[in-house]
Structure 1
Amino acid sequence: MKGIGKLTIITGPMYSGKTTELLSFAEIYELGRKKILIFKPAIDTRYSKDDVVTHKMFKMPARVVGKAQEILEYYESLEEKPDAIFVDEVHFFDGNLTKVLKTITLDGVDVYCAGLDMSYLWEPFDVTAQLMSIADEVIKKKAVCEVCGEYNATLSYKTRANGGVLDVGGKEKYIAVCKECYQKIRKEEGH
């Protein structure tokens, strides 16, 4: 019997290299001639409908799913199981993702996930927080603060107040900021 797979979550603010690190792990498995599967949420069509793409445009093909359960259904339909599964933008998935990925790791498959840990309101995304709590490894990334230029940004700040908390976007809507600059911007805007 295969052992239990490892669950790794890569998290942090926008522009911290989460997807880049996720795809680096996927590439390592591929170089080792391992079978992989990459999933992305249907809501994320920023750079490509069918690929997981970094902000620097490195990309790998992905299976697009609307709900977490679709990951498990597709996985269970496979005759040959992969060695690892990679899931990008986990914060866009429903709460069932934790149960789905736990089931897959119990089947002996390594799982790597990437996603924001907090919304632009400095509040945790429940799905990411759940995954962090059951993960074997949590990789918490930082970004360069767009305001002060220091490598200490842990928050994403929404520069355009439209849409809700789950609002897909890039540089046209979000910047990475440190906590001090986040507080300064919020004060300047009267929050």
Structure 2
Amino acid sequence: MYNRWGGIDVSGKLTVITGPMYSGKTTELLSFVEIYRLGRKKVAVFKPKIDNRYHSTKIVSHSGDGVEAFTVERPEEMWKYIDEETRGVFVDEVQFFSRDLFDVVRELLNRGIDVFCAGLDLTHKQNPFETTAMLLSLADTVIKKKAVCQRCGEYSATLTLKIAGGEEEIDVGGQEKYIAVCRDCYNALKK
């Protein structure tokens, strides 16, 4: 199969950035957006409609950096914003999307588009987020982030602990509901 320049088509690459809350996943994703834009590559940036914590139409890190994004409810809606010139697709908070995101990402890769996804790997109950787990299985590169434990202060937090609200595992929130902790502090605080 040959591309529009007469060369052999090359599949896209999937990079998944994962870890607990406050580990810099979105910041890392935004750095890749910047790299593609500096390289004058057309990008499409997406966020789930459910996540309006900091802004309704921007992906925003906890530090306040951000970029405009298409807000979608279902992964299939992304196709409206992607064309043959798109070289990079960036998706934040993948844990809030349905498992249909896997099929969309796989098709993007087959079309030669690089995809970068960021999201939580585990719920506050240490259960895997299904969509994130599926994307990890497809990834060419996985960037596993850690955070500073908000209890002991060590740079070893790999878990998110819910400190307010109910027990539901899909519950959008920030510092008012969640903290990042290491496994020892998680176990101590859960007792």
TM-score by length of 1: 0.94
Indicate whether 1:9 and 2:21 are aligned: no
Counterparts of 2:57 and 2:102 in 1: how far apart (Å)? 23
Q: Name the count of aligned residue pairs.
A: 184
Counterparts of 2:171 and 2:189 in 1: how far apart (Å)? 20
Equivalent in 107, 119, 122 of residue 123 of structure 2: 119
How well do the aligned residues superpose, as a CA RMSD in angstroms?
Answer: 1.0
Deviation at 1:163, TM superposition (A): 6.1
* 1:163-182 matches, cutoff 5 A: 164-182=168-186
Indicate whether 1:86 and 2:93 are aligned: no
What one-letter code is carried by the residue in structure 2 that aligns with 1:185? L
Deviation at 1:59, TM superposition (A): 0.5
Counterparts of 1:154 and 1:72 in 2: how far apart (Å)? 33
* 1:1-191 matches, cutoff 5 A: 1=3, 2-75=9-82, 78=83, 80-162=84-166, 164-187=168-191
What one-letter code is carried by the residue in structure 1 that aligns with 2:47? K
TM-score by length of 2: 0.94
Deviation at 1:21, TM superposition (A): 0.1
Counterparts of 1:163 and 1:31 in 2: how far apart (Å)? 43
Counterparts of 1:53 and 1:115 in 2: how far apart (Å)? 13
Q: Deviations over 1:110-144 (max 9, x none)?
A: 00000000000011001000000110000000000
Identical amino acids, percent of aligned pairs? 53
Structure 1 stretch 66-75 or stretch 9-18: which is displaced more?
66-75
Deviation at 1:91, TM superposition (A): 0.1
Structure 1 stretch 88-97 or stretch 64-73: which is displaced more?
64-73
Counterparts of 1:73 and 1:56 in 2: how far apart (Å)? 30
Name the SS for the 1:153 alignment partner.
coil
What one-letter code is carried by the residue in structure 2 that aligns with 1:87? V
Deviation at 1:73, TM superposition (A): 4.3
Q: Which runs of 5+ in 2 are unaligned?
A: 4-8
Counterparts of 2:127 and 2:21 in 1: how far apart (Å)? 14
Counterparts of 1:74 and 1:134 in 2: how far apart (Å)? 23
Q: Which runs of 5+ in 1 are unaligned?
A: none
Name the SS for the 2:67 alignment partner.
strand
Counterparts of 1:99 and 1:57 in 2: how far apart (Å)? 31
Deviation at 1:74, TM superposition (A): 3.5
Deviation at 1:81, TM superposition (A): 2.6
